[in-house]
Amino acid sequence: MDSAMMDSVIVDPKLQRYKEAIAQLLSQLEAFSRAIKNPTITKTVQNLQENINQPFLFVVIGEVKAGKSSFINALLGSGEICEVGADPRTNMVTKIIYTEGDGYSRETKPGELREIGRPVPILQQIAIVDTPGTNSPLQQHEDITKEFITNSDLVVFVFFSKNPYTNTAWSLVDFAHQEWKKPVIFVLQQADLADDRELQSSFQYIEQEAQQRQIASPQVFATSAKLAIENASGNGAENSGTADERNNDVGGFMPVQDFVRNTITGGQGYRLKLSSNIGSAEQIVIRLSNDMQLIKQQLATDEAVIAKIRNRLGQGEEQSRYEIDALVARLMTQYERAIYQIKNEFRDGLSIFVLAKRSFLSIFNRKQRIETWMNDLKARAQHDLEETLDETSKEGAKRFLDGIQQMIRQLLAELNTLDNEKLRKTEISLPLLEYRYEVIEGVKSKITNLLNDETFMHCLTDTADSVGPGVASGGILAVIGGVIAAVTEVVILDIIGSVFLGVGVLLAGGVLLVKRRGLIQKLDSELERNRSRFESTVSEQLNTRLQGIYDEISLSFTDLYEYVEQERTELTPLIAQFEEIKQSTEQLSNEIRRL
Ligand SMILES: Nc1nc2c(ncn2[C@@H]2O[C@H](COP(=O)(O)OP(=O)(O)OP(=O)(O)O)[C@@H](O)[C@H]2O)c(=O)[nH]1
Ligand SMILES: [Mg+2]
């Protein structure tokens, strides 16, 4: 009877595997509870882990020399666990537990409690408490014994087969069975020393006593530790596991093992213990489930809102670009209308001067009149062009501004959907979730500021003369104003000026009539060239400005973008981890319930 064989005899390997599966699940749950920084759940899980990893605890009680220590050795299949002898040996309550390595023995409460560690595999599943005889004078042991009984899974009462009648253990039987509802068994030890008649009356006596104590069908076994151990060290190892194993049950331990396996270590008791453990794990998972669901949904919402914001910004930019194109087109129409006017006047004016050539006006006077006419034409051209372009650009800028304001309001509405009071009261206390509120409020106030902030809105429509290199940073109107000024003051006047310069020279030469056509063509092409330059400059600068405005709005969302990115990185693995735990819990729970 080696200890490896005892392992499989006493503990049901199938249930043992479930125990390991629960232990694994609990360690996953522990890691998860640490990840979500919930110390209460971590503590609960740790208690469960301790509980599930506790081996079964058997307490062995009986009179001095009844053979308790020998019984334990035989049951565990190792003669070396408890000290056995003719004189009183077990002089204090002794807890025998598993240890790796050489083993040890030390008094954990001097004079009262000893702990023995042994590298015997079965002790990983069953820890045993050996007690001094109940009739020994050392009564202070009774308190410790009782403490162990309350935590035990089985209490074994050992009697001397030949003479069980003077037993002093019955008060502890009451304590274990009646007060604590613990499973108890009775063992008639040293059965080899009693004859059949003696054994039979001992059985009857124990059964009667037990029944008087409301133990309905008392479990009474007769064993001989002596024979069992002798057999094991003799030929047990070779015989173990063979078909006629039962016939070799020298010492009567087989029925004891059967009972233990069926009712404690492999039976209903074990199942109850497993299902209570998985039940507790399930409770924790359910408790976390709602919060995890909340977080999962929030992550999805956050991502959707971010996508909507990006989309809206994109659409807004497109819309603004479209408005700018339309504005540029309107400006160009105005420009064309104005230069059409200039061209006509120029043509008409020239004709008048050509006709006037035949008059008697002196060249000097003619020159003066032409200069006056030129200056007048230049001034009117500039004024008309400025006025009409100015009006159009003001109207365009207003529309543009309204569009942007409306978009910002929509963006604010999107941001408001991110508020979630529930998220602040969960079992999950990640720093990430704690500063969520701050991030959302920060972004909201930045966006609200864009609406209210003088500088931003002002700079949109700023009319200050920030022409030149500052154009791109000025308001829309400043941009347009700058371009208009450049087009009219500088370019138009130059064009007209340079064309008139030719006129003056030609007048002096008296060939105006011949060159008139050429002059008109020159003006046309210069104005046309200027037109495309105007168009490309105003369009380019407005688009640059637009880009700046949208960049600034986008920039206000940076914190939120970064937050959601971080949220995704941190929460995704947590969500997956929890899903896995949840699934294994459900699966394990179902399997254990079906056992
Ligand atoms: N013949 C026979 N002797 C046994 C048997 N079991 C134990 N003994 C002997 O009985 C004596 C007492 O055995 P223990 O196992 O030390 O008894 P115990 O109840 O632990 O004794 P204390 O710890 O001193 O109270 C020892 O000399 C053992 O060798 C048995 O089954 N048959
Ligand atoms: Mg003993």
Domain residue ranges of the chain, discontinuous segments joined by +: 55-238+246-265, 294-417+429-563
Tell me, in angstroms, the distance from the centre of ligand 2 to residue 145's CA: 14
67 lines ligand 1 (CB under 6 A): yes
Tell me, in angstroms, the distance from the centre of ligand 2 to residue 131's CA: 7
Do you know the residue count of the chain? Answer: 595
Contact between residue 137 and residue 116 where contact means Cβ atoms under 8 Å apart: no
Tell me, in angstroms, the distance from the centre of ligand 2 to residue 146's CA: 17
**What ligand is nearest to the CA atom of residue 189?**
1
Is a pLDDT exceeding 50 seen at residue 469?
no
- The protein residue with its alpha carbon nearest to ligand 1, atom 16, reads 84
Which pLDDT belongs to residue 270? Answer: 78
Is a pLDDT exceeding 90 seen at residue 21?
yes
Is a pLDDT exceeding 70 seen at residue 456?
no
**Exposed/middle/buried for 103, CB within 10 Å: 0-12, 13-18, 19+?**
middle
Q: Which backbone phi and psi does 113 adopt, to 5 degrees?
A: -135, 130
Closest by alpha carbon to 510, among 332, 335, 384, 358?
A: 358
Dig out the tokens for 213 from the structure. 């104590």
Distance of alpha carbon 222 from alpha carbon 209, whole angstroms: 16
Which pTM was predicted? 0.68
Q: Is 37 helix (H, G, I), strand (E, B) or coil?
A: coil
**What ligand is nearest to the CA atom of residue 73?**
1
The mean-pLDDT minimum among 204-213, 222-231, 376-385 falls in 376-385
In this prediction, residue 381 has a pLDDT band, given cuts at 50, 70 and 90, of confident
Is a pLDDT exceeding 50 seen at residue 281?
yes
Contact between residue 14 and residue 563 where contact means Cβ atoms under 8 Å apart: no
Residue percentage of the chain with pLDDT more than 90: 38
Dig out the tokens for 568 from the structure. 């995704």
**Exposed/middle/buried for 181, CB within 10 Å: 0-12, 13-18, 19+?**
exposed
226 lines ligand 1 (CB under 6 A): yes
Distance of alpha carbon 410 from alpha carbon 432, whole angstroms: 26
Which pLDDT belongs to residue 2? Answer: 45
Tell me the average pLDDT of the chain.
83
Please give, one letter per residue, the 3-state secondary structure of 505-561: HHHHHCCHHHHHHHHHHHHHHHHHHHHHHHHHHHHHHHHHHHHHHHHHHHHHCHHHH
Please list the residues that pair with 117 across neighbouring strands. Answer: 97, 104
Ligand 1 atom nearest 86 alpha carbon: 27
DSSP class per residue in 265-307: ISSHHHHHHHHHHHHHHHHHHHHHHHHHHHHHHHHHHHHHHHH
Question: Which segments of 59-165 does DSSP mark as H helices, in order?
Answer: 68-76, 141-150
Long-range contacts, stretch 229-232, CB < 8 angstroms, 24+ apart = 229/70, 229/73, 229/74, 229/79, 231/1, 232/1, 232/2, 232/74, 232/77, 232/79
Question: pLDDT by residue (tens digit) across 322-356?
Answer: 988 998 899 889 888 888 888 888 788 777 766 66
Which pLDDT belongs to residue 276? Answer: 85
Which pLDDT belongs to residue 247? Answer: 56
Ligand 1 atom nearest 133 alpha carbon: 25
Range among 90-99, 183-192, 363-372, 535-544 rated most confident: 183-192
The answer as to CATH 1.10.390.10 being correct for domain 55-238+246-265 is no
